[in-house]
Structure formats: C-alpha cells, structure tokens
C-alpha cells in the first residue's frame, strides 16, 4: 500500500535546522493558530516540567498539519491494533520539529495509526521541548529571521549539530523516552505487548532522539530502531545496539552525501537496512505526492516482517 498524504516538506531537526526554517516557511506554508486538541487518550509521563518555561503549551497549523510547541508535560498516546490483530510488537513514535515544536499529525498520529493497522501497538511520544516565544507572531518572526548557513561536517552525528553550532541538551527528551518505554513495560499485558519486541521510530529531530536513546539510555533495550530523515554522521555503536532501518532522500539537506551512521552500524556487525530515495526533501512523513519515498513505509513493514517482528509469538 502506498501512503500518499499530499504533504510538503515540514519539520526540522535541532538548531541547525532552524537555519533553514526561514526560507522553508516563507516558501511552503503559512502558520495559523490552532486550538489545542483534547487528546483524551494521552497519558502524562510524570517527568516534570521544563526549566525556564513560562509560556503555556500552544498549537498551530502549517501545511495543513497540527503542530505543538512549548510542551512542558510529556505524554504518551497509545494507538492499539483492533482486537485479534495484534502481533505483540510495539513502537514508540517520536515526531520531529527541531526540539522547538512537534509535527504531531504528519510524523505522529498518522504514522502510529498506520502501524496499528499492521497489528503493531504504536505509542506517540509527545516529549518536552525547548521554549519558544509565547506570541505566535514572535515565534513566526523568529523562524523567518535570516541566519547564516552552518558549515557541513562529515563528523555530524545523529541528534547532534555541526561543531560550529551549540549542542542542545537532550536530557529532558531522553528522560521522556525512557519513561515512555517504562510505561509500556508496566502495561505490556494490558496492551498486548511482547516486552522483547519494543522498538522506536523517529522523524527528523525524533530520529535524533531515537538515536540518542539508542546510544545513551541505560534503561531502554530497544528491539529495533527506525531513524527516518535524521542526521547521517558516524557514531560509536554500542555492542548491544538493535537492528536499524534508515531512510532519507538524496535532496534532504541533512543527507549531504553522508553515510556515516549506516557505515557505523555495518562495521559493528549489527543488521542495518538503508534506503536513499531519489527525491522528497525533508519532512515527508508517510509520503509526498509523486515522490520515490512514498513506499518507504511499505519497505519498513516488509523489513519488520522479514525480521520476524510481525509474527505473533505463542506461549508468551
């Protein structure tokens, strides 16, 4: 099945992506205020607030998609398969947005529902963000302010900025991811989850968080990961690293001809699958119209199936 969601390029990863945001927003989408959705199934993770956060959580719409910013209370929203269809596999879904906002529709809810339709218990992680101005006009003005482009670096790691840019503190985001994983473990029986088959997939900054969790968490034992259009620089791979599915477009400004993270996984002897698509730019979610990346989700599901994650286990 091809998921053609009629989207244009959206979210950005880390501070380096904010460099590109001004031109992208001017060309592709106007920001409109949006009333916060009810989110009745969202479960607070109890990880605390954000230091220095004064503005309340607010939402806006861009390219037709709902996005949230100034998130100071992390939540996890379950998208469970229909009765009788669950296969035991679970996925934490981390949307992107440069750690300043989250693309909740395009890279969160839509992806989670698509996973649930495949029998996978999916959980959208709405993690805490770095503060932005309370005023939407000030937020837009800040995003449209011209910034000098950073120098490319072959040593840029997923979840990190080039050396010329300050490194963002991801301790809050890692704590949120660990709390989400712990909650799924705690309620695994209720949600029909095999605790040995919990993975994580993320987009843009969410891909950075997925990689950051893989490289740094002492409590998460992910069965597989799927960083989608994240940073491509080399990393030091842990001995117990999970299999990785990685996808990005060649015209994504995060690619820049780098294969470092894929090469790192390969040299470490950890299973890795990599899809470099001809076009789609950045932030394509489940797919853009008439782009080669439109079948990445199909490839991901096939990869999960070949690796025995879609076959329900018996006696567990």
Please name the residues in contact with 308: beta carbons below 8 A apart, sequence gap of 6 or more. Answer: none
pLDDT of residue 290 exceeding 80, the answer is yes
Supply 302's token pair: 């096939």
Q: How many CB atoms lie within 10 A of CB 190?
A: 9
Helix (H, G, I), strand (E, B) or coil at 15: helix
Number of domains in the chain: 1
The helix (H) or strand (E) run that includes residue 300 is helix 296-306
The HSE-up count of residue 254 (CA atoms within 13 Å, CB side) is 36
Please check whether residue 4 lies inside any domain of the structure: no
Where does residue 210 fall: left (phi above 0), alpha (psi -120 to 50 degrees), or beta otherwise? alpha
Distance CA 16, CA 142 (A): 14
Please check whether residue 135 lies inside any domain of the structure: yes
Helix and strand numbers (H, E) in the chain are 8, 12
| Predicted local distance difference test score (pLDDT) of residue 197 | 98
Domain that residue 104 falls in: 14-306
pTM as predicted? 0.85
Choose between 5 and 35: higher pLDDT: 35
Please check whether residue 3 lies inside any domain of the structure: no
| Predicted local distance difference test score (pLDDT) of residue 140 | 87
Name the CA dihedral angle for 103, 108, 113, 118, rounded to a multiple of 10 degrees: 130
Distance CA 269, CA 146 (A): 43
Supply 187's token pair: 């309620």
**Confidence band for 315, pLDDT divided at 50, 70 and 90:** low
Place of tokens 């004064």: 54
Q: What percent of the chain has a predicted confidence (pLDDT) above 90?
A: 75
Supply 144's token pair: 């449209």
| Predicted local distance difference test score (pLDDT) of residue 146 | 52
Choose between 107 and 156: higher pLDDT: 107
Distance CA 90, CA 310 (A): 10
pLDDT of residue 166 exceeding 50, the answer is no
Please check whether residue 98 lies inside any domain of the structure: yes
Domain with residue 20: its CATH number is 3.40.50.1820
Q: How many CB atoms lie within 10 A of CB 71?
A: 27
**Confidence band for 313, pLDDT divided at 50, 70 and 90:** confident
| Predicted local distance difference test score (pLDDT) of residue 145 | 59
Q: Alpha helices of 127-251 — where are they, by DSSP H? A: 136-144, 171-186, 188-191, 205-216
Contact (Cβ atoms closer than 8 angstroms) between residue 92 and residue 201:
yes
Distance CA 92, CA 198 (A): 8
Contact (Cβ atoms closer than 8 angstroms) between residue 74 and residue 62:
no
pLDDT tens by residue, 55-85:
999 999 998 899 999 999 999 999 999 999 9
pLDDT (mean) for 230-244: 96
Please check whether residue 20 lies inside any domain of the structure: yes
Buried residues in 295-306 as b, exposed as e (16+ CB within 10 A): bbbeebbebbee
pLDDT (mean) for 1-16: 33
| Predicted local distance difference test score (pLDDT) of residue 68 | 98
Please check whether residue 9 lies inside any domain of the structure: no
Contact (Cβ atoms closer than 8 angstroms) between residue 261 and residue 231:
yes
Query: Widest CA span of the chain, in angstroms?
Result: 59
| Predicted local distance difference test score (pLDDT) of residue 159 | 42
Please check whether residue 314 lies inside any domain of the structure: no
């Amino acid at each position: 099945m091809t998921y053609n969601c009629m989207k244009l390029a959206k979210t950005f990863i880390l501070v380096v992506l904010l460099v590109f945001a001004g031109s992208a927003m001017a060309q592709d989408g106007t920001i409109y205020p949006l009333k916060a959705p009810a989110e009745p199934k969202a479960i607070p993770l109890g990880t605390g607030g954000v230091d220095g956060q004064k503005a309340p959580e607010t939402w806006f719409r861009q390219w037709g998609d709902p996005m949230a910013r100034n998130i100071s209370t992390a939540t996890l929203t379950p998208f469970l398969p229909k009765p009788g269809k669950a296969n035991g596999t679970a996925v934490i879904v981390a949307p992107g947005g440069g750690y300043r906002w989250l693309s909740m529709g395009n890279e969160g809810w839509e992806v989670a529902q698509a996973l649930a339709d495949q029998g996978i218990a999916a959980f959208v992680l709405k993690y805490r963000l770095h503060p932005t101005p309370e005023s939407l006009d000030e937020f837009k003005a800040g995003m449209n302010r011209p910034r000098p482009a950073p120098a490319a670096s072959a040593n840029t790691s997923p979840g990190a900025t080039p050396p010329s840019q300050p490194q963002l503190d991801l301790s809050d985001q890692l704590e949120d991811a660990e709390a989400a994983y712990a909650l799924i473990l705690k309620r695994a029986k209720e949600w029909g989850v095999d605790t040995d088959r919990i993975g994580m997939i993320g987009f843009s900054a969410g891909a950075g968080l997925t990689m950051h969790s893989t490289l740094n968490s002492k409590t998460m034992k992910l069965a597989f990961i799927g960083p989608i259009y994240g940073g491509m620089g080399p990393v030091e791979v842990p001995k117990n690293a999970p299999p990785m599915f990685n996808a990005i477009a060649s015209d994504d400004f995060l690619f820049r001809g780098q294969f470092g993270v894929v090469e790192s996984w390969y040299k470490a002897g950890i299973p890795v699958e990599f899809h470099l698509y001809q076009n789609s730019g950045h932030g394509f979610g489940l797919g853009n119209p008439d782009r080669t990346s439109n079948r990445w989700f199909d490839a991901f599901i096939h990869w999960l199936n070949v690796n025995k994650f879609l076959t329900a286990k018996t006696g567990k």
